[in-house]
Amino acid sequence: MSETKSAQPPAAARRSRTLLVSFLGAVVRPLGNWMPIAGTVELLAQAGLDASSVRTAVFRLKKRGWLESESRSGLRGYALTPAALEALAAGDEVIWHARQPADLGDGWCLVNFSVPESARAVRHKLTAHLAALGFGNIGAAVWIAPARMLPAARRAIAELDLTGQCAVFVGDHVGGQQLTSMVGNGWDLAEIDRRYRAFIEEYGDLPAGPAADDAQAFVSYLSVVDHWRKLPFRDPGLPPEVLTEDWSGPAAVRLFERLVAELDGPALAHAARHWSG
């Protein structure tokens, strides 16, 4: 089947794409920003993807400008483009070093915007950007996050050329509605907590200590990274004072860091053996 006419169902296509992106960030970059296509197909087959799915996902990322064809030592493969490296680096601070809780004393950043109905698509892009940055929606066109998100909010607004339609404030909560109520309305904290707990439940029983089998370490490592990398983007890193005492984020972070420390060495050693053909 042609790569341009994949019959994958949407969910399968999304999994192929997300797993490949995780593979690019966690495996391809440490191994020199280049991957052999044959070795990549073999490795991702171990993680549960068939060859057609891998090749389709590669084709789509190539169309997005993330990959460019490059042969090395007689092996066909793909190199990460500057655009891919920039995008992967932008997510590193969140994915690998989950947001530390904000200091309540630093205050809050508020964004209010007025974008006309005729520019609905741009308005949707802005709200998607703010949500991805960890902002919560507390009213009609009013978004809030810890004050440290001010520079990121300014960049998102400027990139969409909406500076003239947005008002941005930084300040303290001084009264009125309880802060915990506002936070509860702005973010789906129960869902974020549920996702952290699901991560702990799925990976908490992985054995501690060095993995005996490098192939299994690779599969586990890629699965852990792929599952984890979506979670911190949903977590705004709120101050502990506005969270419940049983908030599961810190426990999930500790588990993720332990697993990466134990698995990345043998996982990368296993992957490197597929780089030589």
Q: Running DSSP on this structure, what letter comes out for residue 72?
A: B
What does the pLDDT average to over 133-154?
92
Q: Looking at the DSSP assignment, which residues form a beta bridge with residue 111?
A: 143, 168
The topology (CATH level 3) of 3-93 is Arc Repressor Mutant, subunit A (1.10.10)
- Which residues fall within 8 angstroms of residue 93, CB to CB, at 6 or more apart? none
**118: pLDDT strictly greater than 80:** no
Boundaries of CATH 3.30.70.240 in the chain?
A: 108-171
What does the pLDDT average to over 148-164?
91
Question: Whole-number mean pLDDT of the chain?
Answer: 89
| pLDDT tens string 185-194 | 999 999 999 9
Confidence of residue 7 (pLDDT cuts 50, 70, 90): very low
Question: Residue 98's pLDDT is what?
Answer: 65
The topology (CATH level 3) of 108-171 is Alpha-Beta Plaits (3.30.70)
**122: pLDDT strictly greater than 80:** yes
217, two tokens: 């370490």
The pLDDT > 70 percentage for the chain reads 92
Confidence of residue 134 (pLDDT cuts 50, 70, 90): confident
Question: Residue 1's pLDDT is what?
Answer: 37
177 φ/ψ angles, rounded to the nearest 5 degrees: -55, 140
| pLDDT tens string 241-259 | 999 999 999 999 999 999 9
| pLDDT tens string 221-232 | 999 999 999 898
Residue 1 buriedness (CB in 10 A; 0-12 / 13-18 / 19+): exposed
Question: Residue 9's pLDDT is what?
Answer: 47
Question: Residue 14's pLDDT is what?
Answer: 65
264, two tokens: 């990345």
Confidence of residue 100 (pLDDT cuts 50, 70, 90): confident
Q: Running DSSP on this structure, what letter comes out for residue 102?
A: P
Boundaries of CATH 1.10.10.10 in the chain?
A: 3-93
Q: What is the DSSP string of 135-196?
A: -EEEETTEEEEEGGGHHHHHHHHHHTT-GGGEEEEEE---SSS-HHHHHHHHS-HHHHHHHH
**211: pLDDT strictly greater than 80:** no
CA 108 to chain centre: 23
What does the pLDDT average to over 21-45?
97
